[in-house]
Structure 1
């Protein structure tokens, strides 16, 4: 109810005409005013609630207006409380929202859009970004690295043998910052996998469609074509465009295409518009619940350390290569291979310079790779002009006498049992879960590949007509510490033999019905390619298997 303080000459009758109120309504609300015709200066007059005063000369009816009854959404994606989730019986609960968890959710929402299946998904982190960081208008290349380091957790500081490692706990996980390189693994790498080449091709095609992977990002770039030709005619005929997951369709007819670079948020958005699901953030999974060899659900803790028990017939662990085995081991789930076979890429970095005069006036971006082959156990990737492979339209690319090109080389690392993630018996986190520790070293074969890569980089730079850029603190080619490639994988590898694998060929943990993994950890090996596309492909395959099992 609103109160109007009357002025000299005001009467209830005059106020009703002036503001469009029924006189009887005013008389009812103001019993302290004895007559509608008396002068009432300085008197508080009660106005009817939620009715907009309109002058009597307007004949249009007043629109209903009640803000207290209007629906409100506090976040850019609908969230469900853990209290509500604890009251629900789920068909599937997904733990983690990175590449694997997002892919599983997207596929289940696609396949179950017309049935009553209940899906829940929980994320340990918060709502950091609604899209890949490159899509944020205020972001540029110079801010990218510092921002990632500011919001991620440097776990490598307590892992002497894996010092470069970082984790990012947020909705979308590390896909919010990943490097947008989505090649398939070389077919030679998949020999011995529990998935056929034909089936992998099928799921790669789905993953490439889901992620908008194409070679179109650098199409028409003179810089790209020039570098490709130099490499192809000077000893590297396999040089190719980097397959890039980018939505290159322009906004048109009201359909927005601002989510250019792919992240798992894109998968969540697709799912949200196909089928409802429950999502909780700041929800830490601390234990998988198993009863008589069957999955019963997951124990979760909120930020204030309150425990909740979420019931589900099927649980999909999509934490990451460190967190999925950590949760399994802490839950007492047995498996000789769980946490073992930790695999990454050996990682060389270099920066080179080429004269600007060698290229046409309009450059465009350059993103080129020399892929792994059966005889080449590494992949070389380069992009430029450094700092302007991607940039916002608000920036101006400066004129330069020399162009910088960043080059990365990723070497294949053997998946060995002794390289492992294990629980630290002396340290626990704030939720009572043991911290992880890592045992890792490069084999003699791994070291030989590193030396091969260094030699190949020198040949690549020569073929490009470039020269190494060196400083007092930065040699021409340097080896990054283990873990800094952010491609760690294989700690819950899939396979048919429980003594050498943690999951079966469909991602189900050996010996536990209804418990699956779907993230980098299930890859049997990773060769030299960025594992993200392969993780999405295999996670879609896991979702298909779950969907068929729960018909």
Structure 2
């Protein structure tokens, strides 16, 4: 059934970027419809208040779509160890950690720096005002003045409390003479915009209180009040294109009734994440992909980790998920044997006794029988975790394709992903492991374990927590999918507004940058709607 109403803007996906685009465009008075294949996640649905919290986090609340297998999900055939995404209103902000650092100016000009990655067609300065806008909407907690970063406005809320974990890690960084700074968090430290301050209850994956900015609580109420129409349980099957080369709308199935509908639109925005977006374009008769770039250059970040234990009780089982960041090695220094850099995300521990005993994120497990209680007593509350996250080189063979056999419950081919670190990435990972060992020793750890995410066969299984780069932005239509305004080169009224447009990965969690870019793209569509709604070719505006 075709909806005779032609909306101004149709958005596919209600995650962070879909929410921000909906808010910006609806507030401008445009007729906006958003289709979301999942539904609302209520506070009571979260595992935080349940006695089987640990079990739920490993099963029906696992961030890995393949372990969770919820009806709202679609399957992903992956050779990486974990695909983190959540199909619901607010998307993956229902399960993320909300670590909130920005890209650095150099992240936008890697082509100029060393030529192994492309330059972005935009700069840090182009994005900076939208970083500030996103921070205000989210209520970011941070401390201005980091000497490793450009100046910024005073953050909306003060930084997270200095924990015992943070103090111990800071002493280690100081011993080594390395940079550190309080973590920037998408979590409020004081009541803000109708949401309660973080109560530091423990290591987080999502937040039922809304203290950690879950976009269904922080952004969507504003977008709905502004007039956006949000249709849940609406799985998009494909985007259609007319004879004039413009997108006409989207065919979707109402998962409550099983009926198919077609929503017409003047402009279509795809905001379905770095896997969902290329999957949908490929399933839509290879839409916007005559140059074979859709789905290529999948990046996850290089990742290694260290779990350490110190004699001093540091109460790592309580408090916000992260404590400090270190940008000591964020910039390229070729004397290290590779290009690009990495960031330390210094986190707390697991709040679960059982999870710690069974192996938290390394191979360290409590022995059964004799020695179990002694092992546990010495480690619970004494554990600290550190991730090292690096900027991986985009590789066209790391990609998202359609699975030739596997389909979702509505018959759409599943996504199939391939990702393997390259030689530069592996050199960086080995260097990161050495630096993590330095840090553990500088912190006075009585024991530590390194995690390089290799399986028993020696194959890297880097967790796919960050899914970016698969419809990347660029200045050349032959090597990119969208222009600097997120407009696809081939379909002038089709925009991609999510992590798939990132041309490089940076060394930090991508949600702040993705959010800022979504606000920038939505502002462009808002300010140029009349032209874009009839355009027959992409914009070349400066």
TM-score, scaled to structure 2: 0.75
Q: Given the superposition, is the C-alpha separation of residues 108 and 293 from structure 1 closer, same or farther in structure 2, using an over 3 Å criterion?
A: same
Distance 1:428 1:222, change over 3 A: closer
Task: Say yes or no: does 1:319 pair with 2:259.
Answer: no
In the TM superposition, residue 159 of structure 1 has moved relative to its aligned partner by: 3.3
Q: Is residue 174 from structure 1 mapped to residue 92 from structure 2 by the alignment?
A: yes
Q: Where do 1:355-504 residues align within 5 Å? A: 355-356=311-312, 367-371=323-327, 372-375=330-333, 377-387=341-351, 403-469=382-448, 476-479=450-453, 482=461, 484-504=463-483
- Whether the 8 Å CA contact 2:141–2:189 is kept in 1: the answer is no
* Residue deviations 1:155-202 (CA, integer Å, cap 9, x gap): 899635334224422221111010121101122111121112211212
Contact kept? 1:354, 1:404, Cα under 8 Å: yes
Give the TM-score normalised by structure 1: 0.74
Contact 2:16 2:93 (8 Å CA) reproduced: yes
Contact map agreement 1:153 1:168 (CA 8 A) in 2: no
* Alpha-carbon contact 2:65-2:76 (below 8 Å) kept: no
Deviations 1:333-353 (A, max 9, x none): 142211111111122232111
**Cα distance 1:356–1:92, how it changes in 2: closer, same or farther (>3 A)?**
same
Which of 127, 140, 156 in structure 2 is aligned with 1:200? 127
Cα distance in 2 between the residues matched to 1:145 and 1:201: 35
Structure 1 residue runs without a partner (length 5+): 1-82, 389-397, 471-475
C-alpha offsets along residues 73-110 of structure 1, whole Å, 9 cap, x if unaligned? xxxxxxxxxx8x93432101111111211121122233
Q: CA deviation at 1:447?
A: 0.8
State the alpha-carbon separation in 2 of the partners of residues 270 and 459 from structure 1.
47
Residue number in structure 2 paired with 1:284: 235
Q: Is 1:247 aligned to residue 188 of structure 2?
A: yes
Q: What is the CA–CA distance in structure 1 between the aligned matches of 2:474 and 2:75, rounded to whole Å?
A: 32
Cα distance change, pair 497–348 in 1 and its aligned pair in 2 (3 A): same
Residue number in structure 2 paired with 1:260: 211
Equivalent in the alignment of 2:245: 293
Question: CA contact under 8 A between 2:104 and 2:124: conserved in structure 1?
Answer: no
**Distance change in 2, residues 1:104/1:130 (3 Å):** farther
The 1:131–1:410 alpha-carbon spacing in structure 2 relative to 1, beyond 3 Å, is farther
Q: Using a 3 Å threshold, how does the CA distance of structure 1 residues 226 and 127 change in structure 2: closer, same or farther?
A: same
Is 1:122 the counterpart of 2:35? The answer is yes
Task: Tell me how far 1:281 sits from its aligned partner.
Answer: 1.0
Measured after TM superposition, the shift of residue 328 of structure 1 is 1.0
RMSD, aligned α-carbons:
3.2
Unaligned runs of 5+ in 2: 110-118, 143-157, 198-208, 334-339, 353-376, 455-459, 531-542
Larger Rg: 1
Q: Deviations over 1:361-412 (max 9, x none)?
A: xx97661121223336111212225429xxxxxxxxx998851112212222
Looking at structure 2, the residues matched to 160 and 95 of structure 1 have their Cα atoms a distance apart, in angstroms, of: 23
Q: How many residues of Structure 1 are paired with residues of Structure 2 in the alignment?
A: 446
Using the alignment, how far apart are the partners of 1:501 and 1:139 within structure 2? 48
**Structure possessing the higher relative contact order (Cα contacts under 8 Å, 6 or more residues apart):** 2
